[in-house]
Amino acid sequence: MLSIYNTLTKRKEEFKPINPASISMYVCGPTVYDYFHIGNARSFIMADVIRRYLEFKGFSVKYVMNLTDVDDKIIKKSLQEKKETKFISENYVEAFFEDIHKLKIKPANIYPKATEHMDDIVKLIEELEAKHFAYNINGNVFYDVSKFKDYGKLSGKKINELESGSRIEINEEKKNPLDFSLWKKAKIGEPYWNSPWGNGRPGWHIECSAMSCKHLGKTFDIHAGGNDLIFPHHENEIAQSEAANDKKFVNYWIHFGFLNINEEKMSKSLGNFFTARDILKKYSAEAIRLSFIQTHYAGPLNFSEDLLASSEKGLEKLKNLAVRIMEELNTQNNSGIIPAFDFQYYEDNFISAMDDNFNSPQASAVIFDFIRDINRILAENNNISNEFYQLIKSFLEKTAVGVFGILDFSDYSTLNSVMLEDSLIKFLVNLRIEAKREKNFALSDKIRDGLKELGITLQDSKDKTSYKKYNLNI
Ligand code: AMP
Ligand code: ZN
């Protein structure tokens, strides 16, 4: 049974999907005005691990990650760089895709962009206005927080205790400092869209309410994002969506702990960040992923290069085993022994760790225990059948490859194909020796000529035949 800690109810709950045939999951994506940093990467990677685990459990997941491509920060950057906002956002959307690919993050099914959902956004604001949850002051439309009786239910904050904080905009026009922008009137030089309230652009929170509803429906299973989004972003999404739709918005809210540097949160505004792309120049995606996986997603994680270096070292054990498996599987051995080993025990432990609110540190410890125990078996036994190596490979394929993305057997496929090629050549060379011994010179010449056509020349000496690959004289 999978249980998930739900920020909304503040307890672990059994996961009961709305439709087990297709789980709906929405993750708040990047604001595309810069390369994303390694803190953002933590949230994206842990969301990816959760999605992969749901798939491991046999669910099909409809995974949506939005791209905020209209925002104050994008406008600021466009003014600084004297380039159009569209140029800035498109450039960083492309960079985002490159980076998540390098981080081995599975692509979402849909990446909705705010600029491509203006009609849905405007319609949602109109609905809120019609229901008196929104008011318009000179082309600026605000959400009236006092009208939504459940305001604060996600963050546990009470309206009267709240004050204007870091991500709350101060604006004298608002009735209440907590009221937030649904539609912002265009200022000179800013990009704008037409609306019933005049030219302007949407607020950040309404984008996610409109796009999640459009792609996943009025109520969906899982909504995730970093801790900083609980308030006000997700609180406001609930207020908007539930006021408009009269339905529960999201069943399970998952929030990722912050990645800190020197015990301080990593953020662009504090300037204490490393971009994922810079870190990837020095460390592998697998080491980055393992560093995050070895800390529970909900807690803080103090980032350091030592952490990455030690993950890189830990991965050596996994890689060595993978190389060994690939080497062994390249040689024919179906008659060897199958040592006694309880694969199911490790798989059950992996599952029970992950089922417990995605306890990836414990689940990764199961993989490393597995490696240690398998290595002992391999050291103690000779002449092990391929079937056993295949069992090791399939355990790792499900867990380290499939759920964690910290291993990729195809990295060893070059090694694999070179070794396979050599084995095939040797096989043909021996066949030719046999043919010659039996005085079947027609066949032995055929083998030699056939290999030559493939760029492999054979050189016979007195007692052995050697070969040269890719002889350019051919
Ligand atoms: P942003 O582009 O700032 O809207 O952030 C994109 C995602 O990364 C959101 O889910 C944020 O909550 C998350 N995030 C931002 N900074 C950090 C951090 N230091 N550690 C973990 N997640 C973060
Ligand atoms: Zn969002």
* Structure confidence by residue, pLDDT tens digits, 233-246: 999 999 999 999 99
Residue ID of nearest Cα to ligand 1 atom 1: 30
What pLDDT score was predicted for residue 158?
Answer: 82
Q: Which two tokens stand for residue 374?
A: 């398998």
pLDDT at 388 over 90: yes
Q: Which two tokens stand for residue 340?
A: 């006694």
pTM for the predicted model, two decimal places: 0.87
Report CA(40)–ligand 1 centroid distance (Å).
Answer: 4
Name the one residue in this structure whose structure tokens are 């990677």. 45
Overall size of the chain counted in residues: 474
* Structure confidence by residue, pLDDT tens digits, 178-205: 999 999 999 998 999 999 999 999 999 9
What pLDDT score was predicted for residue 136?
Answer: 97
Q: Which two tokens stand for residue 41?
A: 């990467």
Q: What is the mean pLDDT of residues 157-172?
A: 63
% of the chain beyond a pLDDT of 90: 81
Q: Say if strands 140-143 and 180-185 run parallel, antiparallel, or are unpaired.
A: antiparallel
What pLDDT score was predicted for residue 472?
Answer: 46
**Rounded Cα gap, residues 450 and 430, in angstroms:** 14
Helix%, strand%, coil% for the chain, nearest 5: 50, 15, 35
Least confident of 45-59, 177-191, 258-272, 410-424: 410-424
Report CA(372)–ligand 2 centroid distance (Å).
Answer: 42
Closest ligand (CA of 301): 1
Residue of 27, 31, 34, 40 best suited for mutating to test ligand 1, as the one with most atoms within 8 Å of CB: 40
Read off φ and ψ for residue 405, nearest 5 degrees: 65, 35
pLDDT at 288 over 80: yes
What pLDDT score was predicted for residue 456?
Answer: 86
What pLDDT score was predicted for residue 257?
Answer: 98
* Structure confidence by residue, pLDDT tens digits, 399-443: 999 999 999 998 886 665 666 777 788 889 989 989 988 999 999
Among candidate residues 398, 420, 395, the one with its CA nearest the CA of residue 321: 395
Q: What is the mean pLDDT of residues 334-360?
A: 96
* Structure confidence by residue, pLDDT tens digits, 306-327: 999 999 999 999 999 999 999 8
- State the DSSP code for 83: -
Domains, the chain, in order of start with CATH, read 14-280 (3.40.50.620), 285-407 (1.10.730.10), 414-469 (no CATH)
% of the chain beyond a pLDDT of 70: 95
Long-range Cβ pairs for the range 162-168 (8 Å, 24+): 165/231, 165/232, 167/228, 167/231, 167/232, 167/233, 168/232
Average pLDDT, the chain: 93
pLDDT at 248 over 90: yes
Closest ligand (CA of 205): 2
What pLDDT score was predicted for residue 163?
Answer: 56
Report CA(371)–ligand 2 centroid distance (Å).
Answer: 39
**Rounded Cα gap, residues 176 and 103, in angstroms:** 42
* Structure confidence by residue, pLDDT tens digits, 461-472: 877 888 887 644
- Ligand 1 cavity residues, CB under 6 Å: 28, 30-31, 39-40, 42-43, 225-226, 228-229, 256, 258-259, 265-267
pLDDT at 168 over 60: no
pLDDT at 474 over 60: no
Among candidate residues 466, 34, 82, 108, the one with its CA nearest the CA of residue 278: 34
Q: What is the mean pLDDT of residues 62-88?
A: 94
> What residues flank ion ligand 2 with Cβ within 5 A?
28, 208
What pLDDT score was predicted for residue 395?
Answer: 98
What pLDDT score was predicted for residue 418?
Answer: 67
What pLDDT score was predicted for residue 167?
Answer: 53
Residue of 228, 288, 302 best suited for mutating to test ligand 1, as the one with most atoms within 8 Å of CB: 228
Report CA(103)–ligand 2 centroid distance (Å).
Answer: 22
**Rounded Cα gap, residues 33 and 161, in angstroms:** 33
Read off φ and ψ for residue 21, nearest 5 degrees: -75, -20
Q: What is the mean pLDDT of residues 140-152?
A: 96
Residue ID of nearest Cα to ligand 1 atom 17: 39
What pLDDT score was predicted for residue 421?
Answer: 78
CA 260 to chain centre: 19
What pLDDT score was predicted for residue 263?
Answer: 85
